[in-house]
Structure 1
Amino acid sequence: MSAGERPSLGRVWILAWPIILSNVTTPLLGMVDTAVVGHLPGPEHIGGVAIGALVFTSVFWLFSFLRMGTSGFAAQAAGAEDAPEIAAVLGRAILLAAGLGLILLALQAPIWWAARDLFDASAAVQTLAGEYFFVRIWCAPATLMNYALLGWFIGLQHTRVALLIQIWLNGVNIVLDLVFVVGLEMGVPGVAWATLAGEWSAAVLGLLVAGRMVRRRGAALNLPRILDIGRLKRFFRANVDIMIRTACLIFSFAFFTREAAQFGDLALAANAVLLQMVHMTAYGLDGFAFAAEALVGAAIGRRSHAALRGAVVASTIWAGIVAVAIALVYLAAGDLIIALMTDQEAVRATAGAYLPWVALYPVVAIWCFQLDGVFIGATQTADMRNAMLASLAIYMAAALTLPAMWGNHGLWAALTVLNLARGATLAALYPRVERRTAPAVSPGA
């Protein structure tokens, strides 16, 4: 792409579809994990894997900044055609990921104690969840390095490489699930060992591919440049900003679930089903947000205002089309999707009453998804952090008042307010992104 070229709709789709397809493989893996232990005697095996996996999902989500922080810096270095900095970004991200992974290993006992006390499960489920946890925790460095590698590949617009590595990870995991649990009868620990092997093999494969890409660009990992104080500070600052933003988002959904419990088990179960549809929406919209990250970062790296505008417009057009399509699917077939997730008539009926909120979600959330991608690509993470903090305050005001008036409908309205606030606050700050590439005005103009 030339310096002033606007990214086309076709280019955005080429970048987005591998991410969307990669996201689809994630719930498939969860289904296989559940299926292999679902054939073991007693429900405690399913419960043990479910709780163990939830602990890691919660912990690792907090470190998702490793993907987001890396992609923006990699994209800008690629846009500037700075091969040594492309290699240095990779080195910084891998060092940070490995270091954080080792810290998680060192803290595994207190992490498990806290998680065990949080879940009020039976003794049998807790025992199995503990067996799962103390095996899978050893994949922490690999998992975090995979986050960093994913961000680096996306930043360099190699989304198909990211897809292939994700397919490898999940494929190894699924095959070993069958070998360890069904063939060798290792039970719940077998599921954890399969995940461990999948994560580490994917990390090794990703590092080999990334090393080859660095060499092709005529660069190499240079420790003094990787440890450059100025660049390190900027990298750490960006990642801390994103971590704060992510922690706010985690809290928002946790508070939503906590408040749903106040309306009884039926409302809690219905909301849990509907939240799965919310997560499915994210799988569809993430691809275009990731494309925005790569294209916006590259535009800023080459200081092309036309490319920046083109990246924002093209990725948002695609995201808008997909958001409307998802909304229409939920309106037309939402009851069927709910029925596929639960056979309990009361839960189905209750979830159906709140289905319009889930259908509204894609067309409301598209703006914050896309603008997150824009700000990540621009590495304007302090703006993201501040917008999220303001949005959280607005959400809490809504979540503490609307449910008192409208019950569970009020809770869903509050979640809608959160996404509207995220989009509006980022939109208000968006001109700062455009100023990064705005043409200079001569004094006499």
Structure 2
Amino acid sequence: MSRWLTRTDRRLWALAWPLMLTNLTVPLLGLVDTAVLGHLDSPEYLGAVAVGANLFSLLYWTFGFMRMGTTGLAAQAWGRRDPFAQTALLLRSVLLAVAIGLVLIATHRPLIALGLTLMEPGPEVRALAAEYAAIRIWSAPAVLCQYTLVGWMIGMQAPRGPMVMLIVANGVNIVLDVLFVTGLGWNSRGVALATVCAEYGAALIGFALVLARRPRGAWPWPALLGRLADYLAILRVNRYLLVRTVTLLLVLAFFTAQGARQGEVILAANAVLITFLMVISNALDGFANAAEALVGEAVGRGSRRRFRAAFGSALRWSLWGSLLLTVVFVLGGRPLIGLLTGIEAVRATAIAYLPWLWLLPMAAVWGFLLDGVFIGATRTRDMQNTMLFAALGVFLPVWWLSQGLGNHGLWLALISLMLGRALGMGWLFLRHQRTGAWFATAP
């Protein structure tokens, strides 16, 4: 088969497959926690961890820009063959991650109280979830450092590093879950502490990996640490990603809330189908992450030929991946839904809305791929603006006009959001191609 692959295809796959494996195994941390607590006598412990884990997923996902922004800048420094910039970016990004993590720890009480108020768990679950969150928040510096380390390694085209970090995190989490919960009887507190230890273990492995990969050179610490303007430059790239991520989170929260207004069965059915959207995202993001590295390298080198080759390869394989996922959902959608829920009413309702799942891979693939291109080129302001356009100019109007369709209208709005992003980013992509604006962003 290798003779049918171009050199860029082979480079793309070398980057993509470890990242795909990493993305697809991310849910294992939550599955282990669920499996351990699911065998205890009281369901409140499982509910508390579910509420607390969702709270931290939202909190940490908000800071996912630290991974994306670091990848684009690192890839461009790699493309320029600039070892000082590579090392300085790593150090400065880690310092920012630690600083933000410490701020989250210092302000965790009101953050946790607000999150639990919005989620509205019962009194017993709320107390246990608050206890879980008060322990789990201490992992914030480690988690944010992981984001920057993973982003740097992707940009430096070392994709196996994130996979190793995840393997370590899962291994430590499994061992400590069994020890703390089954052995010592610490219940949800034990799960929280196990997760904190796992996050710090993964961060330490990440530091070891990047130090081994770090370019060799003797530079004075003041130069590596940089000035305030250097940190503001990193934050400028990331602030647009923050707005884009928060906007996406608000859209998904709105989608969930509107489903809840239609009843518990609709809410549960939508949750089942949204789970498959996460699978689509994690699978196709492997190609998008690889595109970030290759596009960033091309921009750093100022090579239009490499840029076109990287985009063409990522586009081709992303489309094949989305087609494969579509076939899987068309042929296996019903049994897959049956695996996720045994409640007949929820299963029947999810099957009724299954055709929307068939449309998801082809509707979502364009946004995932173009995200990779725009991140690699550090055109993060474009990502913010197209997300705002898709959310405010497409999703909300479509939802408003199609309320009479019930849950079908809600899914139509979500599909329209993805297509709106694709159209907006596609138009900007073509404009940047004509003007050569991609290469004006390289620092």
| C-alpha distance 221-65 of structure 1, shift in aligned 2 (>3 A) | farther
The whole-number CA distance in structure 1 between the counterparts of 2:291 and 2:422 is: 15
Matches within 5 A, 1:1-80: 8-80=8-80
1:279 counterpart letter in structure 2: M
Matches within 5 A, 1:247-258: 247-258=246-257
Number of the residue aligned with 1:443: none
Unaligned runs of 5+ in 2: 1-5
Matches within 5 A, 1:38-437: 38-214=38-214, 216-218=215-217, 222-393=221-392, 394-402=394-402, 404-431=403-430, 433-434=432-433, 435-436=436-437
Count of aligned residue pairs for this structure pair: 432
Q: Judge conservation of contact 1:70–1:152 (CA < 8 Å) in 2.
A: yes
Q: Which aligned segments of 4 or more residues in structure 1 are displaced greater than 2 angstroms?
A: 216-234, 431-434, 436-439
The whole-number CA distance in structure 1 between the counterparts of 2:390 and 2:355 is: 23
Q: How many Å apart are 1:232 and its aligned residue?
A: 2.7
**Bigger shift: residues 227-236 or 282-291:** 227-236
The whole-number CA distance in structure 1 between the counterparts of 2:401 and 2:189 is: 45
TM-score with structure 1 setting the length = 0.94
| C-alpha distance 7-256 of structure 1, shift in aligned 2 (>3 A) | farther
The whole-number CA distance in structure 2 between the counterparts of 1:230 and 1:170 is: 38
2:119 counterpart letter in structure 1: F
2:32 counterpart letter in structure 1: V
Q: Residue 400 of structure 1: SS of its match in structure 2?
A: helix
Q: Residue 217 of structure 1: SS of its match in structure 2?
A: coil
1:327 counterpart letter in structure 2: T
Q: Residue 61 of structure 1: SS of its match in structure 2?
A: helix
Q: How many Å apart are 1:392 and its aligned residue?
A: 1.0
Q: Judge conservation of contact 2:299–2:439 (CA < 8 Å) in 1.
A: no
Q: How many Å apart are 1:437 and its aligned residue?
A: 6.1
The whole-number CA distance in structure 2 between the counterparts of 1:18 and 1:420 is: 28
Q: Judge conservation of contact 2:377–2:438 (CA < 8 Å) in 1.
A: no
2:194 counterpart letter in structure 1: A
Q: How many Å apart are 1:228 and its aligned residue?
A: 3.6
Q: Judge conservation of contact 2:240–2:381 (CA < 8 Å) in 1.
A: yes
CA deviation digits over 1:100-137, x for unaligned, max 9?
10010001110111122112222211111112111111
| C-alpha distance 378-317 of structure 1, shift in aligned 2 (>3 A) | same
The whole-number CA distance in structure 2 between the counterparts of 1:60 and 1:14 is: 28
Q: Judge conservation of contact 1:7–1:311 (CA < 8 Å) in 2.
A: no
The whole-number CA distance in structure 2 between the counterparts of 1:433 and 1:220 is: 36
The whole-number CA distance in structure 1 between the counterparts of 2:304 and 2:16 is: 22
The whole-number CA distance in structure 2 between the counterparts of 1:220 and 1:328 is: 53
1:294 counterpart letter in structure 2: A
Q: How many Å apart are 1:221 and its aligned residue?
A: 7.6
TM-score with structure 2 setting the length = 0.95
Q: How many Å apart are 1:209 and its aligned residue?
A: 1.8
The whole-number CA distance in structure 2 between the counterparts of 1:203 and 1:93 is: 14
CA deviation digits over 1:378-426, x for unaligned, max 9?
0011111111111111111112221x23111111010000000011101
Q: Judge conservation of contact 2:237–2:378 (CA < 8 Å) in 1.
A: yes
The whole-number CA distance in structure 1 between the counterparts of 2:7 and 2:437 is: 18
1:20 counterpart letter in structure 2: M
The whole-number CA distance in structure 2 between the counterparts of 1:194 and 1:384 is: 36
Q: Judge conservation of contact 2:142–2:200 (CA < 8 Å) in 1.
A: yes
The whole-number CA distance in structure 1 between the counterparts of 2:96 and 2:324 is: 39
Q: How many Å apart are 1:211 and its aligned residue?
A: 1.8
Q: Residue 217 of structure 2: SS of its match in structure 1?
A: coil
Q: How many Å apart are 1:264 and its aligned residue?
A: 1.3
RMSD across aligned C-alpha pairs, in angstroms?
A: 1.5
Q: Residue 26 of structure 2: SS of its match in structure 1?
A: helix
The whole-number CA distance in structure 2 between the counterparts of 1:373 and 1:266 is: 36
| C-alpha distance 71-7 of structure 1, shift in aligned 2 (>3 A) | farther
Q: How many Å apart are 1:223 and its aligned residue?
A: 3.6
The whole-number CA distance in structure 2 between the counterparts of 1:336 and 1:230 is: 55
CA deviation digits over 1:6-35, x for unaligned, max 9?
852121111111111111222222111001
Q: Judge conservation of contact 1:12–1:288 (CA < 8 Å) in 2.
A: yes
Unaligned runs of 5+ in 1: 1-5, 440-445
Number of the residue aligned with 1:3: none
Q: Judge conservation of contact 1:226–1:232 (CA < 8 Å) in 2.
A: no
Q: Residue 81 of structure 2: SS of its match in structure 1?
A: coil
The whole-number CA distance in structure 2 between the counterparts of 1:81 and 1:431 is: 28
Q: Judge conservation of contact 2:244–2:384 (CA < 8 Å) in 1.
A: yes
The whole-number CA distance in structure 2 between the counterparts of 1:137 and 1:78 is: 34
